[in-house]
Structure 1
Amino acid sequence: MKHKSILFVGVFLFAALTLLHESSLLAGEGPEHSRDDKKVDRQAQATLDLGKQIFRFDTFGDEAWWGDTLKLHQAIAGVRNGGVGPGVSPKTALAVGLKVDADALPEQLKSQIRAGRVNLDDPATTLALLRLNAVVGVTGIFDGAGGIKSMGVQCALCHSTVDDSFAPGIGKRLDGWANRDLNVGLIVSLAPNLTPIAELLRVDVATVKAVLNSWGPGRFDAELDKDGKALRPDGGQAGTLIPPAFGLAGVNLHTWTGFGSVPYWNAYVAVTEMHGSGTFFDQRLSDPVQYPVSARSGSWNTRDTPDLVTAKLPALHAYQLALKAPKPPVGSFDAAAAERGKEVFDGPGKCATCHVPPLFTETGHNLHTPAELGIDSFQADRSPTHMYRTAPLAGLWTHQKGGFFHDGRFATLRDVIAHYDVVFRLGLTEPEKGDLIEYLKSL
């Protein structure tokens, strides 16, 4: 009996110690690796939070270009508010694709807008929205008297939109979505001082305005300041469609022509397109034959002081990789047809050969020659790669406006499929093409 009691006490103590050990693990008081895991989790969340802040609100100091140099803020303000010209009213701003973050609007202001008591035809209202930091991708910088003295832009200008939940163009942010409504060229063309751009390209201001206005909504030319090519050989404008910034996790090369990785493109845009103060280096862009403008300007080797870009690239990259491609709304595609379309995608359509699920691009060097795609080489030849990237397809439903491929040359998905049906001699039937369209809409 005595031995049984000792055995019982021993078992009880062992069980108690085990429970104590497990409870300490749950409380975060366990072995070193448990504390490290929690530390990593906290660091990861802090990095994502910082990346979101950078993506949405950081100008990288580019107000020195957009405001101090080009004076774009003066065109927004208008002469009645200390600027020049008629100014940009909220109605005009929304018409050219700028978006308003409804979460940045006070409830009282929302009520006044609903009641029609806010003048949306007055540029002063636009300035009020800028003071609230409510215009997606744009920051107004104001003096002590409340007058606007400069302005800057952020990543979110082109790569965010809103869900229109409050009104068209006003709603909750949708980070990573391509803003295919945004008429970048038209907005920039309003700047009172376009002389720096004209001097860079060695043309007159009238030509600069004509080029900027040729792009249209949802397009931007990120190579113009490198190669000076404003027009395609056929005389069409050379801008490309704004791509989404979501669904990039696991994707190697970025941009339509695979210039480089996501961090590369972040630095390229922040320093050479947004004109933030930072460091950017790519000796490939110093070739005076392919890139006469950047070879001349030295933008391929930019070393600004202070550097307001480089330290922010890791967090910005992390946030972008966390942006998953959004699922299409229920009822936006025929589910039964999409199931059949998946079989076409994986089988006779040969789509999955390059658009490998679930990334819907190739891992590794995801580039192809123009000849492989059956298209011209103009845009590919503006890239150091001279190739086109296999674009990820997830979330395709969010950016159908403006057409497909880098320049929107195919107006519809049916046009894209018809092109490949001929190039690859697929022999798809019309029902197969229809099913494939529904599958692409479902991604």
Structure 2
Amino acid sequence: MDNSFAPGIGRRLDGWPNRDINPGAIIALSPAIDDAMKKVLNAWGAGKYDPRSNIDGLSKPVVIPPAFGLAGIHRITYTGDGEDIMYWNRYVAVSQMGGLGSVSEPRLNISITNGTEDLVTSKLPALQAYQLSLSAPPPPAGSFDPVAAVRGRLVFEGAGRCATCHSGPAFTDANSGLHPPVDSMAEPETPSYASRSATKQYRTTPLKGVWQHPPYFHDGSAATLPDVVNTYNTKQGLGLSSGDIADLAEYLKAL
């Protein structure tokens, strides 16, 4: 909600990631969970969730991603495990929410069936169609410097080397390939989130509407867009000046 009437009450913001909800704390309220696991869950923090924890017993929560701006993008998760949204919706419905139905992922040795009837599959096409209809929100008026953004685009396409992977109208090469963990600005991490996925790799995150959903990187380690640019500049040895970094951040805010 946009809180236009009161906190938590207003117009719907469809597809916007909920950065206030604390899934770990909610799950920890279950009397079926022991104290040790409650401690783990309560450490996840607001706006984060680990969709593998109940599968492999590890804990590495990731930032809840937006569900907007996915039209034309086939690999929609951080690690690009599936070829469409229905893949992930099925996984969540059955393995995370206990929905009646089945999910199978041989690459992770997952085969789960809940109940004797399938109440999940028939709902997946309509849910996917709805999600694909959600456009990324445009930046609010006055939220970026348009002159600096023009300069930042030149950095994005040139010295910053951003357009190499953040390519095309969706600013991602996810449909053509994935990237090894070493390419991620959040790696190395223990446990590696990619190592717990089916692909063992990462997709390039789409950038449309990126102004809306800090923190950034799958682990939320970059609080702001300037932090993102600084991280790339340092780890990739780009040699960008402070002015280049500021301009590039303004361009990202404009997407």
Give the counterpart letter for 1:257 in structure 2. Answer: T
CA contact (8 A) 2:69 2:208 kept: yes
Q: Tell me, yes or no, if structure 1 residue 281 matches structure 2 residue 119.
A: no
CA 366–177 in structure 1, closer or farther in 2 if over 3 Å, else same: farther
What's the counterpart of residue 38 of structure 2? 209
CA contact (8 A) 2:99 2:114 kept: no
Runs of at least 5 residues in structure 2 that lack an aligned partner in the other structure: none
Larger radius of gyration: 1
Question: Displacement of 1:307 after TM fit?
Answer: 1.0
Equivalenced residue count is: 251
Inter-partner Cα distance in structure 2 for 1:179 and 1:426:
33
Runs of at least 5 residues in structure 1 that lack an aligned partner in the other structure: 1-161, 196-204, 231-237, 287-293, 295-299
What's the counterpart of residue 371 of structure 1? 182
Deviation per residue, 1:341-398 (Å, 9 max, x gap) = 1111111111111011311111524411122235216111011211111111111121
Q: Tell me, yes or no, if structure 1 residue 194 matches structure 2 residue 32.
A: yes
Inter-partner Cα distance in structure 2 for 1:322 and 1:163:
20
Deviation per residue, 1:327-353 (Å, 9 max, x gap) = 011011111111111111111111111
Runs (4+) of structure 1 exceeding 4 A deviation are: none
Give the counterpart letter for 1:384 in structure 2. Answer: A
What's the counterpart of residue 309 of structure 1? 120
Q: Tell me, yes or no, if structure 1 residue 398 matches structure 2 residue 212.
A: yes
What's the counterpart of residue 331 of structure 1? 142
Query: What TM-score results when the alignment is normalised by the length of structure 1?
Result: 0.55
The structure 1 residue matched to 2:154, chosen from 327, 343, 346, is 343
CA 342–265 in structure 1, closer or farther in 2 if over 3 Å, else same: same
Inter-partner Cα distance in structure 1 for 2:184 and 2:127:
32
The structure 2 residue matched to 1:185, chosen from 24, 40, 45, is 24
What's the counterpart of residue 92 of structure 2? 269
Choose between structure 1 and 2 for higher RCO, CA contacts under 8 A separated by at least 6 residues.
Answer: 2
Query: What TM-score results when the alignment is normalised by the length of structure 2?
Result: 0.93
Give the counterpart letter for 2:40 in structure 1. Answer: V
Inter-partner Cα distance in structure 2 for 1:437 and 1:180:
21
Deviation per residue, 1:161-212 (Å, 9 max, x gap) = x111101221111111100111111122223x224xxxxxxxxx00121111
The structure 1 residue matched to 2:11, chosen from 172, 186, 206, is 172
CA contact (8 A) 1:341 1:432 kept: yes
Give the counterpart letter for 2:43 in structure 1. Answer: S
The structure 2 residue matched to 1:225, chosen from 49, 54, 77, is 54
What's the counterpart of residue 241 of structure 1? 63
State the identity %.
Answer: 52
Give the counterpart letter for 1:357 in structure 2. Answer: G
Secondary structure of the structure 2 residue equivalent to 1:330: coil
CA contact (8 A) 1:258 1:388 kept: yes
What's the counterpart of residue 132 of structure 1? none
What's the counterpart of residue 56 of structure 1? none
Secondary structure of the structure 2 residue equivalent to 1:421: helix
